[in-house]
Amino acid sequence: MWIIAQIFINAIIAGSVYALVASGLTFIYATSRIFHLAHGVVILFGAYIFHFVWVEQGLSPALGVLFSILGSVAIGLLMNELVYEQQRKRHAKRLAYLISTIALLMLGTSSIILIFNTSLKSFNIQTTVYRFDQLNITLMQIILIVISCFLLLILSAVVKYTKFGKAMRATSDNDEVASIMGINTRQIRRLSFGIGSLLAAVAGILIGLEFNIDPNMGVYLAIKGFTAMVIGGVGSIGGAIFGAFLVGFFEQIAVWYFGAGWKNSIAFVLLFFFLLLRPRGIFGLKRFR
């Protein structure tokens, strides 16, 4: 029995990381319809900058968080302005975005190797472990779960109740209609890239603290985030979060029953069934085209 409970805890820890990734992606996807795979390296930049400022320069962690957020947001916005917006001006097909985001992903990963090199970056945090009989969870993990839940709640509120949220949803439904109605869709996209990249920085910091960092993590994070987002239902923050926990849970189950070799495949198997049987995702607002 304790084993099932522990698997559940493990799934929640993995799920909160995926949820942070997936919700950032959801913001970006909702307004721009871009499968922003390069989000993976934006997350990594956040983590590396945090490590650089805090551990290597020995400055305060608060400063680390600040620089990390600034850096990630700047990189996310740059990607949007320099690449995606240029493509949008030419009414590029979705395939074009897909290729350019892959190019940005590769570019970013190599830049990280060049700037920060490949050596082990660990934060070496000692946290308290709470044990209940056989079960265990650490303070760091609780912080991770709490921060991601808190952030995600705020964001859902922003989307639901603010003017920006409404404009964002309008853009998401139909950007042409939205711009006719006087919404500056370009500005909305910028904002959503900004928020998405901010979430990326937070995700990067938390992932770094909990798991250490290495330059090739970006691809996997982005792919997991995407499957979670699509499973949950495109355009819905709640859906992305639910999808993230679902992916986390099934991964742990797969590891337990089939061995870790199939861990990365299980998200796709889930994705396949959802796309076929429930194409809106769990909480999807609208059917994808």
Partner 1 sequence: MFAFLIYILTLICIYSIIVMSLNLAMGYTGLVNFGHIGLLGVGAYTSAILTTKFDVSFIFAITFAAILCALIGALLSIPSRKIKDDYFALLTLGFLFVSGAVFINWTDMTRGTLGIRGIVRPEGFAEPISFFVLTFIMSLVTFFILEKVTNSPFGRVLEAIRDDEQVAESLGKNIDRAKMVAMTLSGFFVGIAGVFMAHFIRFINPASFWLDPLVISLAAVVIGGLASLRGSILGVILVFTISESLRFLSLPSTMIGPMRVILFMIVLLVVILFRPKGIIGRADLD
Partner 2 sequence: MKSNSAILWAIAIVIVILGIVYFSKPGPEAPATPMEGEAAFEIPDGPIVLGAMDPLTGEGAVYGIPLQNATMLAVNEINAAGGVKGHQLQLVWEDSKCNPQDGGAAAQKLIEVDKVSFIISGDCSGAALAAATLTEPAGVMLFSAAASSPDLSTAGDLVFRSYPSDAMAGRVIASYVIKQLSVKKVAVISEQTDYAQGLRGSFTTASKEFGAEVVGDETYNTGDTDFRTQILKLKSVSPDSLYVVPQTPVTGVQILKQLKESGFKAVILVSDTMLGSDTISQNKALYADVYSPTPELDASRPVTKRFLDNFQAAYDHAPEFPAYMAAAYDQVYMLKDAFEKVGIDQKAVRDWLYEVENWPGALGDTSFDQYGDPIIGYHIKHVVNGEQQDLGAYTP
Options 83, 168, 178, 200; binder of partner 1; rule CB under 8 A: 83
Q: What are the structure tokens assigned to 251, written together?
A: 């991964």
Residues 91-110: x/- map of binding to partner 2 (CB under 8 A)?
Answer: -------------------x
Given the complex with partner 1, which of 132 and 257 has the nearer CB atom?
A: 257
User: Minimum CB separation from partner 2 for residue 264, in Å?
Assistant: 6
Q: Does the protein bind partner 2 through residue 111 (CB under 8 A)?
A: no
Q: Does the protein bind partner 1 through residue 226 (CB under 8 A)?
A: yes
What residue type is 282 in one-letter code?
I
Q: What are the structure tokens assigned to 45, written together?
A: 């930049």
Which residues on neighbouring strands pair with residue 137, listed in sequence order?
130
Q: Does the protein bind partner 1 through residue 100 (CB under 8 A)?
A: yes
Residues 146-175: x/- map of binding to partner 2 (CB under 8 A)?
Answer: ------------------------------
Q: Which residues have CB under 8 Å from 111's CB, separation 6+?
A: 41
Residues 235-264: x/- map of binding to partner 2 (CB under 8 A)?
Answer: -----------------x--xx--xxx-xx
Q: Does the protein bind partner 1 through residue 62 (CB under 8 A)?
A: no
Q: Does the protein bind partner 2 through residue 212 (CB under 8 A)?
A: yes
How many residues sit close enough to partner 1 to count as binding (CB under 8 A)? 44
Q: Does the protein bind partner 1 through residue 43 (CB under 8 A)?
A: no
How many residues sit close enough to partner 2 to count as binding (CB under 8 A)? 36
The rounded distance, in Å, linking the Cα atoms of 68 and 204 is 9
Contacts to partner 2 by CB under 8 A: 3, 6-7, 10, 13-14, 110, 113, 117-120, 122, 124, 126, 129, 131, 136, 138, 207, 211-212, 214-217, 219-220, 252, 255-256, 259-261, 263-264
